[in-house]
Chains A and B, each alone.
Chain A
Amino acid sequence: MPAEIYLNVAVSGLLTGLVYGLMALGLSVIFGVVRIVNFAHGEMMTIAMYLAVALFSAYRLDPLAMLVPIAAVLFALGYVMQRGLINPFINRPEHSQFMLLVAAALIMVNALLIAFGPDARGVQTSYAFASYALGPLIVDATKAYAGLAAVTVAAGLFAFFRYTLIGKAIRACADNYAGALVVGLDVKRLYALTFAIGSACVGACGSMMVLLVDVTPPLGPTYTLLAFVIVITGGLGSMAGALLGGVLIGVTEALGGLLFTPSAKSMFTFAILVVVLLFRPQGLLGKRLT
């Protein structure tokens, strides 16, 4: 097989991996701070994708342009969910959290089925079929834009957590819950805010993802699982880790599919997961778990 195929596939995997990484970032933020296992993560992205589809089919609004409004809607949804539903579950055992979010996910998926029907919906922007040729490299335009958007949003998030007061407060809650209380932080509100930020992240990711993938109601669970794998691989509590994990998974799957049977390429993801869990459970860039 000519060498440029490998390059093409790797680049494609990298760009897709960046978008996956952003999705995982949202989960990492939620899990790292609020310690809630958000099993409805993929479903929330599906909701964002449907929003993008609806806006596009009604008003021809490009999903990337709609990124901020869609993220805002998901922000609100996340805040309400956390405040209203999830808060009492923070100290409950995992299986209870799991049940809660599984029930929520079930409702979301079927509500979407009723609202939008079972057929796959996509967004056909003017550049949906475009690609850039750079020498032997053919780069898919939609992937390039999505990847760029992912990096931008991630950078924004980094800046938020590092330089703003609220961002630091949230990190404080994650690092030391008791300490945060002692210092007088309104932990409940910060938790809700964090969940909201994580949801906004997933909302932004949805508007990018809809350029790459058509949405159907049962799309969520695959991506929830993928997000978890990436978070664990990259390392909990490390935002760079989430992106790195995403890229790693994206590239590995792509190259694995090229070298072996494409239908088995997900096995590589799980193999990586098992290896990481056993030999470096804190993930590639995570802090060692106490």
Chain B
Amino acid sequence: MTRRRFVGVGLGAGLAGSLAAQSFAIARAQGAAVGAPLKVGVLLPRSGVQAGIGQDCQRGVDIAPGILKDLGLPELAIMNADTETNVEVARARAERLIGEGAQLIVGAFDSGQSTAIAQVAEQKGIPYVINIAAAPPITEQGYKFVFRNFPTASMILADAFANQKEIFAAVGSAPKSVVFMHVNDTYGTSMQKGIDAVLSKADMPYKILDTIAYDPAARDLSVEVAKAKATGAEALLLVSRLNDAMLLTRELVKQRWTPMAVLSMGPGWYEDQYLKTLGRLADGPISFVPWYDPNKPLSKALEAALAKAHPDVNLNTNHIYTFEALLIAADAYKRAGSADPKALADAIRATDIGNNVSIGPGIRFDAKGQNATLKNAAIQNRGGKLVTIAPKSAANAKPEWPLGPYDKRG
């Protein structure tokens, strides 16, 4: 037998063999015994540019099992996978997880990756619960198997303005003008697009003097802050990420500008690293974000569990919504009584969980698979911790107003 033929036969056999093995694996995979733990695939960006956020969401996954058990909910068998902050990898991993028997998928933080996974889930008829992704189009596609327990950009905006008015009324003062800065990425641009529509209906006491968009990869925001300061606006309204938040704060200090308030409608300004790195300079900014209701009992349980597992980490959006996605999965499994994907999807659609963590009447989904009842909070940085100052039903502190001057903070 010549070398060529040997290799040819070898390659052919290898290929055929691996294909067969795959098919066999599929046949075995999805059939699970009733009462067995539900196989949940969790897709998060654990490497790549979003690695920090993905690993933070993972903390929500890690503390879930104990709490779910205390609630008397069935066990979940978690299958972790890394999307590598890449759309193609996200899609391939989703296929992989389903091929290995995942009966439900949770993830993936990023709107682009979540869209790719949603398509796979819909095709395969496997329920997909999105933990965090704000781009509106995802639940506008008419999917039957995709559910999002997270507000869309327009919901976040509407609540942000409502909460701002509540705060202005509570402190008896409001800025007459703001400058709107936003990071030029998916989330920032979705917010900027929505703002005109929402603002006209919200009847805010201030005018937006200028809109300044900056590059998400920008390492130096001195020009942007100089421009913002030059508009003469009283307050700063913005959508940014963690790194930009720190950069912006430094520039505010260096360029000697303390606005009346920093009103952030995105991540960054309340995150642990921000608080730790900036110390006393971190106090004061108000963030309008999807958050937990500190008065709900399950929130307290979640807080305690996180404090035990990671003592120096504050409970935040990433943990809350990732945890709730798993809560939804376990609750639906209990009600469906079977791991059949269609039954699970129907059960999820009928979800009505009042004993939850996020703000609002609870977790329920509309016909499009969106939880439209979610409410967003206003939180403020105070002494290295976060307090909820609006809406009143979920508040546990009064707002501090205006922002303390940066040069007097020692």
Contact = CB atoms under 8 A, between A and B. Distances in A.
B227 A214 contact: no
A128 B247 CA distance: 11
A124 B276 CA distance: 11
> Which interface residue of B226, B229, B246 has the most chain A CB atoms within 10 A?
B226
Given A2-B230, A8-B226, A212-B220, A261 B213 contact: yes
B410 to A, nearest CB: 11
Interface residues of B, number: 34
A263 interface: yes
A218 B217 CA distance: 10
A129 B253 contact: yes
Most chain-B Cβ atoms within 10 A of its Cβ — which of A118, A120, A214, A254? A118
B281 interface: yes
A82 interface: no
Contact of B223 (A113, A213, A254, A266): A254
Q: Is the interface of B mostly helix, strand, loop or mixed?
A: helix
Interface string B254-291: 11100000000000000001000100010000000000
Contacts of A266: 215
Q: Which of A140, A141, A257, A261 has the most B CB atoms < 10 Å from its CB?
A: A257
Interface string B132-151: 00000000000000000000
A68 B146 CA distance: 56
A213 B218 CA distance: 9
B31 interface: no
A116 B222 CA distance: 27
B86 interface: no
Interface stretch (B13-21, B44-52, B328-336, B341-349): B44-52
A9 interface: yes
Interface residues of A, number: 40
A113 B255 CA distance: 33
B219 A218 contact: no
Contacts of A178: none
Contacts of A218: 48-49
Contacts of A265: 215, 223
Interface in B35-69: 47-49, 51-52, 55
A138 B251 CA distance: 11
Contacts of A133: 256
Interface in A98-131: 110, 113, 117-120, 122, 124, 128-131
A129 B254 contact: yes
Contacts of A222: 217, 219
A262 interface: yes
A212 B219 CA distance: 8
A206 to B, nearest CB: 13
Contacts of B253: 129
Nearest to B227: A258
A97 interface: no
B227 A5 contact: yes
20 contacts: A2-B230, A5-B230, A12-B222, A113-B51, A117-B51, A120-B246, A120-B273, A138-B254, A138-B255, A213-B219, A214-B219, A218-B49, A219-B219, A257-B223, A257-B227, A261-B213, A262-B215, A263-B214, A263-B218, A266-B215
Closest 8 CB pairs of A and B: A118-B51, A263-B184, A213-B219, A118-B52, A257-B223, A263-B213, A131-B254, A129-B253
